[in-house]
């Protein structure tokens, strides 16, 4: 049996396993999120949240449906296990059809600017309706050295290029990790982030600035103007906007970490107070603040790590009091604690938090407005 045949057997089994009811609560949350703006307009959109849930959604504990499937099917052969594990690596994109034969299509992704040889589990004639210049919007999963169409893609004619270029640009800007599948783009982004950090340090005199929330926008405008003069090709980034709850904070930390990149953290001054006097954790607002920084999976570990490194002994007292674990030692258990509550920050390499300019982004920005 070749790899495609095995994939055609495994994919329905995996989808059935994911939708059989054992993950009903988790799947319902994913469906609600995808359908927050209304029902899916077509079959491709309708199956997208299920396909995402099957391959990428993190279950409580940080594992995936694929991991659970493998645990529940210990008798699978090595080829099947390796194939399933590879399916956690999903390519999403806007693909231009460059050509096809009876069972393989050559697809160029406008998002990451890479070309993929794709197969389908629908049989040898699946690509017959396609012609060079048309577009496929969808997802690919690995199939050895090739790729397999995952889910139901949306097919568009060649004259939809202008619209789909804009779609690809928005996808790239919203999901830099998609662009970083391209090694050249990743190398460019790492270089740009390093240059931006040097500008940040040169402008502020340090890589960490603490200021009132009301001053954040003014300070950042000054820094970004300084950076723009020194790195004219710094890549495309979202416009820096400060939410109201951050603007109203007593203090905000602007940190440009060497590994994690730039981010801002509200109420940082109160967090510093806790590490200066752990007894403040007897007060509910301080305890809630530290707990939010620790248990918020989307909050970077950077501020906690930095405060703990200032005085590890004081960090011992802080977390011992918060966790109710006398004898807690930051040097022995600090990283494990962060990994438990912030698995997403430790399960993959840290990527730059800026997006280098792709051709789709350039084309989108130069499109005439109507």
Strands 135-143 and 91-100: antiparallel
> What integer pLDDT is reported at residue 265 of this predicted model?
96
Domain boundaries, the chain: 3-179, 186-345
Under 8 Å CB-to-CB from 98, ≥6 apart: which residues? 106, 107, 108, 115, 132
Q: What is the pLDDT of residues 290-305, one digit of tens each?
A: 999 999 888 999 999 9
Phi/psi for 196 (5° steps) reads -65, -40
- Nearest partner of 147 among 180, 114, 179, judged by Cα: 114
For the segment 341-357, the average pLDDT, to the nearest whole number, is: 85
Instruction: Say if residues 109 and 102 touch (Cβ distance below 8 Å).
Output: no
pLDDT confidence tier of residue 103, bands split at 50, 70 and 90: confident
pLDDT, averaged across the chain: 91
Percentage of the chain exceeding pLDDT 70: 96
Q: What is the pLDDT of residues 36-52, one digit of tens each?
A: 877 777 777 788 899 99
For the segment 272-300, the average pLDDT, to the nearest whole number, is: 95
Query: What's the CA gap between 340 and 333, in Å, rounded?
Result: 11
> What integer pLDDT is reported at residue 124 of this predicted model?
63
pLDDT at 363 over 70: yes
pTM: 0.82
pLDDT confidence tier of residue 234, bands split at 50, 70 and 90: low
Query: What's the CA gap between 148 and 166, in Å, rounded?
Result: 25
Quickly list DSSP for 83-137.
HHHHTT--EEEEEEEEEE-SS-EEEEETTT--EEEEE-TT-TTTTTT--TT-EEE
pLDDT at 143 over 90: yes
Helix 268-276 / helix 284-295 crossing angle, nearest 10 deg = 110
Name the least confident of 85-94, 210-219, 225-234.
225-234
CA 308 to chain centre: 26
Query: What's the CA gap between 213 and 210, in Å, rounded?
Result: 9
| Alpha carbon separation from 40 to 44, 135, 152, 263 (Å, rounded) | 8, 20, 13, 34
> What integer pLDDT is reported at residue 232 of this predicted model?
74
> What integer pLDDT is reported at residue 237 of this predicted model?
47
> What integer pLDDT is reported at residue 66 of this predicted model?
97
Instruction: Say if residues 256 and 248 touch (Cβ distance below 8 Å).
Output: no
Query: What's the CA gap between 309 and 300, in Å, rounded?
Result: 15
For the segment 240-248, the average pLDDT, to the nearest whole number, is: 83
pLDDT at 1 over 60: no
What residues pair up with 146 in beta bridges, in sequence order? Answer: 143
Identify the residue whose tokens are 């390519």: 91
Instruction: Say if residues 96 and 110 touch (Cβ distance below 8 Å).
Output: yes
Instruction: Say if residues 57 and 26 touch (Cβ distance below 8 Å).
Output: yes
Query: What's the CA gap between 252 and 219, in Å, rounded?
Result: 12
User: What is the greatest pairwise CA distance in the chain?
Assistant: 71
For the segment 62-83, the average pLDDT, to the nearest whole number, is: 95
- Nearest partner of 366 among 231, 357, 232, judged by Cα: 357
| Alpha carbon separation from 11 to 35, 78, 192, 256, 358 (Å, rounded) | 24, 16, 40, 42, 33
Q: What is the pLDDT of residues 182-217, one digit of tens each?
A: 999 999 999 999 999 999 999 999 999 999 999 999
Instruction: Say if residues 27 and 18 touch (Cβ distance below 8 Å).
Output: yes
Name the least confident of 38-47, 59-68, 245-254.
38-47
DSSP-assigned letter for residue 297: T
For the segment 327-343, the average pLDDT, to the nearest whole number, is: 94
For the segment 276-285, the average pLDDT, to the nearest whole number, is: 96
pLDDT confidence tier of residue 181, bands split at 50, 70 and 90: very high
């Amino acid at each position: 049996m070749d790899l495609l045949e095995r994939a055609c057997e495994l994919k329905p089994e995996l989808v059935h396993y994911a939708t059989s009811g054992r993950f009903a609560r988790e799947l319902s949350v994913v469906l609600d999120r995808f359908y927050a703006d209304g029902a899916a307009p077509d079959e491709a959109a309708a199956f997208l949240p299920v396909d995402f849930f099957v391959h990428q959604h993190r279950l409580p504990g940080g594992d995936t449906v694929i991991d659970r499937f493998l645990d529940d099917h210990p008798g699978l052969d090595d080829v099947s296990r390796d194939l399933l594990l590879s399916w956690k690596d999903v390519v999403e994109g806007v693909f231009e059809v460059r050509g096809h034969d009876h069972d393989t299509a050559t697809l160029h992704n406008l998002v990451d600017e890479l070309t993929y040889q794709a197969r389908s589990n629908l049989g040898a004639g699946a690509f017959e309706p396609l012609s060079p210049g048309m577009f496929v919007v969808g997802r690919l999963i690995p199939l050895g050295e090739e790729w397999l169409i995952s889910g139901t893609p949306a097919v568009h004619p060649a004259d939809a290029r202008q619209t789909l270029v804009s779609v690809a640009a928005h996808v790239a800007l919203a999901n830099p990790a998609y662009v970083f599948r391209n090694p050249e783009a990743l190398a460019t982004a790492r270089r740009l982030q390093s240059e931006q950090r040097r500008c940040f340090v040169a402008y502020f005199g340090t890589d960490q600035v603490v200021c009132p929330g009301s001053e954040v926008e003014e300070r950042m405008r000054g820094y970004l103007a300084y950076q723009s003069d020194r790195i004219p090709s710094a890549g495309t980034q979202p416009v820096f906007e400060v939410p109201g709850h951050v603007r109203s904070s007593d203090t905000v930390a602007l940190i440009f970490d060497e590994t994690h990149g730039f981010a801002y953290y509200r109420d940082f001054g109160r967090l510093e107070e806790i590490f200066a006097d752990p007894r403040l954790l007897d007060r509910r607002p301080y305890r809630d603040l530290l707990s939010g920084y620790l248990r918020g999976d989307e909050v970077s570990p950077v501020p906690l790590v930095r405060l703990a490194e200032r005085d590890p002994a004081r960090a011992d007292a802080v977390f011992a009091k918060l966790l109710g674990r006398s004898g807690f030692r930051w040097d022995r258990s600090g990283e494990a604690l962060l990994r438990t509550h912030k698995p997403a920050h430790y399960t993959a390499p840290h990527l730059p938090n800026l997006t280098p300019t792709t051709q789709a982004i350039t084309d989108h920005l130069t499109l005439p407005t109507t």
